[in-house]
Structure 1
Amino acid sequence: MKLESHFNLDYTLSCGQVFRWGKANGWWYGIVDGSILKVRQEGDELHFSAYPEDVEDEFIKSYFRLDDDLTNILRIINKDATINKAIQQFNGLRIVRQSVWDCLISYVCATNASIAIIESMLRNLSEMFGDEIVVNGKAFFSFPKVKKLAKASVNKIKLCNVGYRARFLSEIAKQVENNPNLLEELRNSDYLKLRDELRSLPGVGPKVADCVSLFAFDKLEAFPIDVWIRRVIYQIKGAAIPRTKDGTEKPLTVSEYTELSSFARRHYGKFAGYAQEYLFYYIRSKDR
């Protein structure tokens, strides 16, 4: 497929927004909507195939948000020296458009966990509660099915090494099983209402709600805050992070989260979510 605007597949899949992609022999492999996708970029050509059934170009364009006017988005969010450096280094990174169920479960698992741990939890959940898909003799597993997760006991879910999150996953799955339209019914809500509605779900705090709003509901103004983004926002504001008497960073409070997220949305505008992803990848790359 010929790319009509700038896009960097490696940055997009390496930046920490998705957890079920891996690269081998120059190809990226991912499990999306029950299909195994195999994708590689060569300049302005994007090569892809899917199993067990092919997918159309439009599916790929939608998933990687190739319809976004990235040039204009980056121009709008380029408000300070830090984001400018991030844009220069990672130009072509795009937000991935994820399915609501997959994104919600992924980010509930992502609370208080490293990317490696998140990937492990989702792999375990998929192997236990997803469907097996064999491609060229290799077994892949689709994302956990709502029905299987809803019927499972909390103790069985805990076998996937998800810890305290098992109860939240069970309760969410049961709610969605009882009302299959529960999540899609939220799609017409504006960002602030959606965020509050998502927070009514078990295990969903401010950050998870913002991540799901951004990655699954097209709310590009959403600006999730974690420990990395908190530090960079204080730096941009020219302010000091709240610390204890011994100099350690104080835990992020809900009120502080709300204030920082509101500042970022005012500062970066309607595409603040893109700024967040560029800043997150940039600050993490500096720490490596």
Structure 2
Amino acid sequence: MAKFDVIELDSNQPFSLDKTLSCGQAPRWFFDNGWWYGIIRESVVKIRQEENELHFTGADAEFIYDYFCLDLNLENVYTRLKGDNYGKEAIEKNYGLRLVNQDAWECLVFQMTVNKIRTKSSSDRITRVSSKLGKEIEFEGKKFFSFPRPQEILEAGLPALKSCNISYFADNILMASRKVVENPLWENEIYSADYEAAVGILTDFKGIKHRVAEWILLFAFKKYEAFPVDAHIRKIFAANYLKNVNLGTPKDDKFDDTIKEVAKRNFGEYRGYALEYIFCSQD
């Protein structure tokens, strides 16, 4: 029987494991029989929340604390969101949701290959690549697979990637793997860069456009000022914030720029958090 470690949560800091992991922000988490299971790098993490405690195995406490960003003062986020009617409502619906600190490489490839529709398919592209090229991990009598690191992908080669049935994404993933192997400090460069420079580093990867880069900065680099505008966000803002504003067509830059200006004005440095909360509040 697995031994479970325990983290006692700060009672003054909101946290809901269920809200955090059910919103679709991170791939390869699933809920089964009262527990959440996630494959992170080369480990399977099993975790659940019991009131003010996290019970888990598969990782140490420091990793869990960092992954769920338990050091972030979420009340500071809420203070900013509560000044907005929809932000306040979103807090009530998603109380305790935190943005997790995703593995940068896996997040980069996932965002590069996923259609931004928050599907929870067990056969998405990143899962298919993991099943074919990742390392097998046995946990509780079941087989799981890590997502292959860049060097492992280069060693496997393009034919192996194409065998994962991921169409043209195979070429993009291979080029991204080569780029990361050639520059092992790429993550540090993004962390230390200002926002636009960080976007520029990411959009230099083939297959990563500006909006995709913003998702990566939000989910893997804690740049909470990121506010990637997609079809879902356009619809929400057009209906709730900008009813009487001439925005042009949804494909115009003016449309997205106006949305970003409103988000910056209403939510400041936590507008990426606001995006997730508002998105998850839609029925």
Deviations along 1:204-242, one digit per CA (max 9) or x if unpaired, are: 112211111111111111112221111112231224797
Using the TM superposition, give the Cα deviation of residue 143 of structure 1 relative to its aligned residue in structure 2, in angstroms. Answer: 1.2
Using the TM superposition, give the Cα deviation of residue 166 of structure 1 relative to its aligned residue in structure 2, in angstroms. Answer: 1.9
Task: Describe the SS at the equivalent of 2:44.
Answer: strand
Q: Do the aligned partners of 2:104 and 2:187 also contact (CA within 8 Å) in 1? A: yes
Matched, 1:17 2:4: no
Distance in structure 2 (CA, Å) of the matches to 1:20 and 1:59 = 17
Distance in structure 2 (CA, Å) of the matches to 1:98 and 1:11 = 16
Matched, 1:204 2:201: no
Distance in structure 2 (CA, Å) of the matches to 1:118 and 1:241 = 41
Identical pairs, percent: 35
Q: Which runs of 5+ in 2 are unaligned?
A: 1-6
2:168: which partner in 1?
Answer: 164
1:185: which partner in 2?
Answer: 189
Q: Do the aligned partners of 1:108 and 1:208 also contact (CA within 8 Å) in 2? A: yes
Matched, 1:28 2:43: no
Q: Do the aligned partners of 1:8 and 1:91 also contact (CA within 8 Å) in 2? A: yes
1:143: which partner in 2?
Answer: 147
Q: Do the aligned partners of 2:150 and 2:177 also contact (CA within 8 Å) in 1? A: yes
Q: 1:17 to 1:226 in 2, by over 3 A?
A: same
When the two chains are superposed, the root-mean-square deviation of aligned CA atoms in Å is 2.2
The one-letter code of the counterpart of 2:32 is: A
Q: 1:31 to 1:239 in 2, by over 3 A?
A: farther
1:236: which partner in 2?
Answer: 241
Task: Describe the SS at the equivalent of 1:17.
Answer: coil
Matched, 1:3 2:9: yes
Distance in structure 1 (CA, Å) of the matches to 2:157 and 2:252 = 32
Distance in structure 1 (CA, Å) of the matches to 2:256 and 2:203 = 14
Q: Do the aligned partners of 1:131 and 1:142 also contact (CA within 8 Å) in 2? A: yes
Using the TM superposition, give the Cα deviation of residue 170 of structure 1 relative to its aligned residue in structure 2, in angstroms. Answer: 1.4
1:69: which partner in 2?
Answer: 73
Of 34-43 and 105-114, more deviation after overlay is shown by: 105-114
Q: Do the aligned partners of 1:222 and 1:265 also contact (CA within 8 Å) in 2? A: no
The one-letter code of the counterpart of 1:257 is: D
Matched, 1:84 2:88: yes
With normalisation by structure 2, the TM-score equals 0.89
Aligned structure 1 segments of 4 or more residues deviating by more than 6 angstroms? 240-243
Q: Do the aligned partners of 1:129 and 1:145 also contact (CA within 8 Å) in 2? A: no
1:281: which partner in 2?
Answer: 280
Aligned length: 274
Q: 1:173 to 1:272 in 2, by over 3 A?
A: same
Q: Do the aligned partners of 1:206 and 1:254 also contact (CA within 8 Å) in 2? A: no
The one-letter code of the counterpart of 2:242 is: K
Q: Which runs of 5+ in 1 are unaligned?
A: 244-249
Deviations along 1:79-123, one digit per CA (max 9) or x if unpaired, are: 322222111111100000112111111110124565235852111
Using the TM superposition, give the Cα deviation of residue 193 of structure 1 relative to its aligned residue in structure 2, in angstroms. Answer: 1.5
Distance in structure 2 (CA, Å) of the matches to 1:79 and 1:238 = 19
